């Protein structure tokens, strides 16, 4: 569908714009893509032996994310999509690293487009929950909560759309250092939540 705009500029965050994240319209140079391979996820998984064994089978892509270069200023909204590929390390499902926002008082919304998964939430005081995601379901991530997407599907990616305040920033360091209190693993063919033996 064609957009009508007088300026001829496709990405104008002052006047409004849209993008097809399938990149069918030749806008790939305007989308910022991040990729996380298994070798970049060493401290994320609880079972070190399973991680090393899995890595010997190849440095596979665990997840990727795509976003627009929105101005990181108060009043603007950052948005994009996240893709977590199916797989496990030991009994633990593929997941994103997870993060707090640098501005801790920041909420975020995720909308599931495809796949089956969970959003694992945890705040600094220790409250946690794992909220199921499936196509058509939106998850509200409250302010002060770290969040991590987890793909529990067997053979398809978990694809979500996200949006949050553009100046919020990302704090990955806290999760890399401390981990999450809880992990989502497969037990008897079903997702289950367990304590993280590595949590500090």
Could you give the number of structural domains in the chain?
A: 1
**Does 43 reside within a domain?**
yes
**Does 159 reside within a domain?**
yes
Residue range of the domain that includes 134: 28-195
**Does 15 reside within a domain?**
no
Question: In the chain, what percentage of residues exceed pLDDT 90?
Answer: 67
Beta bridge partners of residue 89, listed in sequence order:
92
Report the pLDDT value the prediction gives residue 22, as an integer from 0 to 100. Answer: 59
pTM (2 d.p.) = 0.87
Residue 130 · residue 182 · CB < 8 Å: yes
pLDDT in tens, 71-108: 889 889 989 899 999 999 999 999 999 999 999 999 99
The Cα 96–Cα 62 span in angstroms is 8
**Does 172 reside within a domain?**
yes
How distant is the alpha carbon of residue 19 from its chain centre? 19
Three-state SS for the chain is CCCCCCCCCCCCCCCCCCCCCCCCCCCHHHCEEEEEEHHHCHHHCCCHHHHHHHHHCCCCEEEEEEECCCCCCCCCEEEEEEEECCCEECCEECECCCEECCCCCCCEEEEEEECCEEEEEECCCCCEEEEEECCCCEEEECCCCEEEEEECCCCCCEEEEEEEECCCCCECHHHHHHCCCEEEEEECCEEEEEECCCCC
Residue with tokens 């196509």: 135
- We report the CATH number of the domain holding residue 159 as 2.60.120.10
pLDDT in tens, 103-151: 999 999 999 999 999 999 999 999 999 999 999 999 999 999 999 999 9
pLDDT in tens, 165-178: 999 999 998 888 88
**Does 17 reside within a domain?**
no
Residue 179 · residue 160 · CB < 8 Å: no
**Does 7 reside within a domain?**
no
**Does 14 reside within a domain?**
no
**Does 113 reside within a domain?**
yes
The Cα 46–Cα 88 span in angstroms is 12
């Amino acid at each position: 569908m064609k957009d009508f705009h007088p300026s001829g500029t496709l990405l104008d965050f002052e006047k409004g714009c849209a993008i097809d994240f399938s990149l069918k319209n030749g806008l790939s140079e305007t989308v910022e893509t991040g990729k996380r391979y298994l070798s970049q996820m060493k401290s994320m998984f609880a079972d070190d032996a399973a991680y090393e064994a899995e890595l010997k089978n190849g440095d596979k892509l665990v997840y990727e994310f795509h976003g627009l270069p929105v101005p990181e200023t108060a009043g603007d909204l950052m948005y994009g999509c996240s893709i977590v590929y199916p797989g496990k390390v030991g009994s633990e499902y593929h997941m994103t690293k997870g993060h707090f926002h640098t501005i801790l008082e920041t909420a975020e919304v995720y909308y599931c487009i495809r796949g089956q998964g969970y959003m694992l939430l945890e705040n600094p005081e220790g409250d946690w929950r794992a909220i199921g995601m499936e196509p058509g379901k939106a998850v509200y991530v409250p302010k002060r909560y770290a969040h991590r997407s987890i793909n529990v599907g067997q053979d398809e990616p978990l694809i979500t759309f996200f949006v949050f305040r553009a100046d919020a920033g990302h704090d990955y360091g806290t999760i890399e250092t401390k981990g999450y209190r809880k992990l989502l693993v497969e037990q008897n063919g079903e997702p289950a939540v367990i304590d993280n033996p590595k949590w500090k």
